Amino acid sequence: MSQPSVLAALLAGLRGGSIEVVDLTSPLSSQTPVIQLPPEFGQTQVFELEEISRYDDRGPAWYWNNFRSGEHTGTHFDAPVHWVTGKDLTDVASVPAGRLIAPAAVLDFSEQAAKDPDFLVEVDHVKAWEAEHGPLPDGGWLLLRTGWDARSESQEAFLNADENGPHTPGLSAECARWVAEEAPVIGLGVETVGTDAGRAHSFEPAFPCHSYLLGGDKYGLTQLQNLGALPPTGAVVIAGPLPIVTGSGAPARVLALVERS
């Protein structure tokens, strides 16, 4: 007797509702918040649509658009080549397709971030999570839930900046190094505008998540939504960035598969 098909079982679960698809992607529009660097640096592009035709003289039976966007606008994937420490590593088009589907560990620090927008996750926080839920998944994602997705409809609230710079939660420099060099995960996913904490410009090294993780041939996912709908363990993440040749990253549709009883 032939063995039951794993793919058939997956499709049956999706159709029957025992496997839920959770969209972790922020809708992409001209209102999507974008990172703002000091004015002496180049700036990323706000997402823009340019109408080509809409059932009119320019194209009577079809509607379509050109679009312009930064690679790192909205929910997006950071490839190693994005940072100087990974400049000789893979671009986004060269990321192996098999690494775009991976298990996830979801660490919830939303209560701490609500009290302190500069909250930093330390190695001890991760090890305490592992003591309760088991080790981080080998070849999986570490997803950091902070509740920051609730701010995503406002550029001002999302960046949360003052005269001293942005104030958003993230990893400490030591935790970023540990995730890059010792944890078995392939990357870090966050709800904030970038993988680093808002005040990471003053860390040593500056922007340690970018520096350590991308330099270690790991990846980033940013501006995720709905992490609160995922369990601490067991979800499978599907990250689909545009395969831009030589690209440092790309907007991505990020989905999670969650088994429901």
Q: Before 117, cis peptide (omega within 30)?
A: no
Q: Residue 172 in contact with residue 126, Cβ under 8 Å?
A: no
Cβ count near 91 (within 10 Å)? 19
* Rounded CA Rg of the chain: 19
- For residue 13, give the H/E element and its range: helix 6-16
**C-alpha to C-alpha distance for 53 and 187, rounded to whole angstroms:** 40
DSSP state letter for 167: -
Q: Residue 159 in contact with residue 33, Cβ under 8 Å?
A: yes
* Structure token pair of residue 129: 């999570």
**C-alpha to C-alpha distance for 100 and 84, rounded to whole angstroms:** 23
Annotation says 210 is catalytic:
no
Catalytic choice (72, 76, 82, 210): 82
Which active-site residues does the annotation give? 82
